[in-house]
Amino acid sequence: MIAILLLLKSIYPLQAQSTTEGTDFWVTFGQIANVLIDSFTVNEFVFQIRIVGGNVSTSGTIYFTNLGTSIPFDIAAYEIYAYSLDNTEKYAVYNTVSGGTTNFSIRITTENPVSVFAFAKCSSWCDATNILPVTSLNTEYYAISYPPPINYLYDAFTVIATQNNTLLWHNETPVTLDAGEVYYKTSNNITGDHITSNKPVAFFAQNRATSIHGSVANLLFQQLAPVSTWGKTFFVPVTMIGTEYVRIFALQNNTTISQTGGTIIIGTGGQPILTLQAGEFVELEILLNNYGCYISADKPVGVCSFMKSYDGMGSLGASSQVWIPAIEQTAPNILMAPFVHPNLNYHYALVITSTATKNNTKVSIGGAPPVSLSGGVWYDHTGVGKDMSFYELPLTNLSASYVFSNPEGIIVLGYGIYGIAGASASYYYLAGSSMRNLSAAFTANDIPYAEMSGHFFQECEITFVSHIEGIHSNPGSLNWYIDDELQPHLTDSLTWTQTFATGTYSIKMTVLFMDGSTQDYEGTLNVQGRWIKIRNVRY
């Protein structure tokens, strides 16, 4: 529990904030079901953009790249603006080719920060996703999805370029895109597909339909976060359906994973494994009666949770996918709103935080003063160093925004279902979190920078080692500061050693990344006098 508290308290103020809120967003839609089998037409689809206003009013536009047209809108603080696409607009954003490029994209821009979500529906099938702002995008992604049953043939993903002259590599195959152009790819199973680019892009899992450990198929629609945001500790809640399936995907060879609260059911090659090689995954079954699942890894991993399909035995809902941010990605405030849909009559928020500080969590509905959570239930997952909790809150005001807050940090997921056994409608999405670039860090005598304040160092040589990926090769991309004073002799030094006198010091590493963003990584160094053991007396 101490380690988790330090993590929640230290990371938020130390790094430049990048969250799921912003002012510039891109989205597109993939094929739903198999039109040859199910006889659906685009006219029957519902595509909706849902924008939740921040703490000040704002104006913005929804721009359709293919049509060259814009929809202006104004939105007051904490209000909701929902825009459902007409038939012409739906055809202008709906990707159906088996592989190739289109310009079927939407760009949403606002003057002040908002949260943006997208909803796709076909008959009773539906799913939803948050949309990441361009400030949270980057240049490397791995696909995480679920293979479809044979009747529906194709898993899929989409990539949207946010800048002209974007060079994209899909499994080492190059593609050139301009801003707003979309690379769409289908296959029997996209999990593990690797995307890199020279400029930031948006990446969406777009499975046309799958059935996850049940008999009812549903589409999957979830924007995935870039590799730079992947972390090492995770807490996965469980919806009221009671059973979910979690896929943990390894970025590096010899990634060791541990977990409490889940049962390993699938490993690469069909064998349960806890040590993964790059590109391998392990799947867990997690149950509500275990009060969530805590996951830790010694190297960064990507994690998605999948809602169980209706199985003919009384369960509710259908297959849906949600991205699970690392605990390192908690934020003090999360803004969200439920979706309104006639096939969905239950909507919930899942609020994730540390057990020790869970009672500091509050909610503001429709801009009202924040109050303590009520009307739901806390689920506490306990274990040495692993005390995390989640709260399931019914969202009963479908026309109001919800702002969750906790100064110690939270992550919020949202979901909805049709509360009748046998129904196939459900959605699951990340409501909000931070999206910090975690691909850089440093250690002091092997102690992570975020945990330095909890350790005492002796007056002896202390070795600092940077752990970074994707910085510029240009001189000056890496700088070190001691008590906010630049150390020019350490510029671009990946490793350095120095002896510090007794005292407290601020150590900061500033990194310029390939995408042009700059971030700071700062820790507190506490140095005490040298320990000398003579007859068990300290001098």
| pLDDT-based confidence at residue 189 (cuts at 50, 70, 90) | confident
Structure-token pair, residue 356: 């020790």
Looking at per-residue pLDDT, the higher value among 46 and 1 belongs to 46
Looking at per-residue pLDDT, the higher value among 206 and 453 belongs to 206
| pLDDT-based confidence at residue 319 (cuts at 50, 70, 90) | confident
**What is the reported pTM?**
0.81
Buried b / exposed e along 221-233 (16+ C-beta atoms within 10 A): bbbbbbbbbbbbb
Model pLDDT, residue 458: 83
- Which domains does the chain possess? 2-432 (no CATH), 440-538 (2.60.40.10)
d(C-alpha 102, C-alpha 189), whole Å: 22
Model pLDDT, residue 29: 93
Query: What DSSP character marks residue 9?
Result: H
d(C-alpha 285, C-alpha 460), whole Å: 48
Model pLDDT, residue 426: 84
The answer to whether the CB of 120 falls within 8 A of the CB of 208 is no
Tell me: pLDDT of 2 over 60.
no
Looking at per-residue pLDDT, the higher value among 177 and 343 belongs to 177
What are the backbone angles phi and psi of residue 41, rounded to the nearest 5°?
Answer: -120, 160
Model pLDDT, residue 531: 46
What are the backbone angles phi and psi of residue 268, rounded to the nearest 5°?
Answer: -55, 135
| pLDDT-based confidence at residue 301 (cuts at 50, 70, 90) | very high
d(C-alpha 315, C-alpha 419), whole Å: 9
d(C-alpha 117, C-alpha 441), whole Å: 31
User: In the predicted model, what is the mean pLDDT of residues 457-463?
Assistant: 86
Query: What DSSP character marks residue 502?
Result: S
Model pLDDT, residue 35: 47
| pLDDT-based confidence at residue 18 (cuts at 50, 70, 90) | confident
The answer to whether the CB of 220 falls within 8 A of the CB of 156 is no
Tell me: pLDDT of 12 over 50.
no
User: In the predicted model, what is the mean pLDDT of residues 516-521?
Assistant: 72
| pLDDT-based confidence at residue 352 (cuts at 50, 70, 90) | very high
Model pLDDT, residue 272: 73
Cβ neighbourhood burial of 35 (10 Å; 0-12, 13-18, 19+): middle
Model pLDDT, residue 393: 97
Model pLDDT, residue 96: 81
% of the chain residues with pLDDT over 70: 85
User: In the predicted model, what is the mean pLDDT of residues 426-438?
Assistant: 90
Tell me: pLDDT of 410 over 60.
yes
Contacts from 455-458 at CB under 8 Å and sequence distance 24+?
455/526, 456/526, 456/527, 456/528, 457/500, 457/525, 457/526, 457/527, 457/528, 458/527, 458/528, 458/529, 458/530, 458/531
% of the chain residues with pLDDT over 90: 59
Tell me: pLDDT of 7 over 50.
no
Tell me: pLDDT of 538 over 50.
no
Which alpha helices (DSSP H) does 414-539 contain, by range? none
Average pLDDT, the chain: 85
Looking at per-residue pLDDT, the higher value among 366 and 442 belongs to 366
Lowest mean pLDDT among 35-39, 91-95, 293-297: 35-39
User: In the predicted model, what is the mean pLDDT of residues 403-421?
Assistant: 88
User: In the predicted model, what is the mean pLDDT of residues 267-286?
Assistant: 83
Model pLDDT, residue 187: 85
User: In the predicted model, what is the mean pLDDT of residues 277-289?
Assistant: 93
Give 31-82 pLDDT, tens digit per residue.
877 544 444 577 778 899 999 999 999 999 999 999 999 999 999 999 999 9
Lowest mean pLDDT among 245-254, 377-386, 490-499: 377-386
Which alpha helices (DSSP H) does 271-334 contain, by range? none
Cβ neighbourhood burial of 96 (10 Å; 0-12, 13-18, 19+): middle
Tell me: pLDDT of 3 over 50.
no
Tell me: pLDDT of 313 over 80.
no
User: In the predicted model, what is the mean pLDDT of residues 146-154?
Assistant: 71
| pLDDT-based confidence at residue 6 (cuts at 50, 70, 90) | very low
| pLDDT-based confidence at residue 188 (cuts at 50, 70, 90) | confident
Model pLDDT, residue 16: 37
Looking at per-residue pLDDT, the higher value among 535 and 313 belongs to 313
Tell me: pLDDT of 450 over 80.
no
Model pLDDT, residue 115: 97
Model pLDDT, residue 425: 76
Buried b / exposed e along 476-497 (16+ C-beta atoms within 10 A): ebbbbbeeeeeeeebeeeeeee
Structure-token pair, residue 422: 């046998």
Structure-token pair, residue 260: 């409490």
Looking at per-residue pLDDT, the higher value among 453 and 262 belongs to 262
Model pLDDT, residue 361: 98
CA proximity to 207, closest of 331, 318, 53, 46: 318
User: In the predicted model, what is the mean pLDDT of residues 460-476?
Assistant: 75
| pLDDT-based confidence at residue 526 (cuts at 50, 70, 90) | very high
Model pLDDT, residue 186: 86
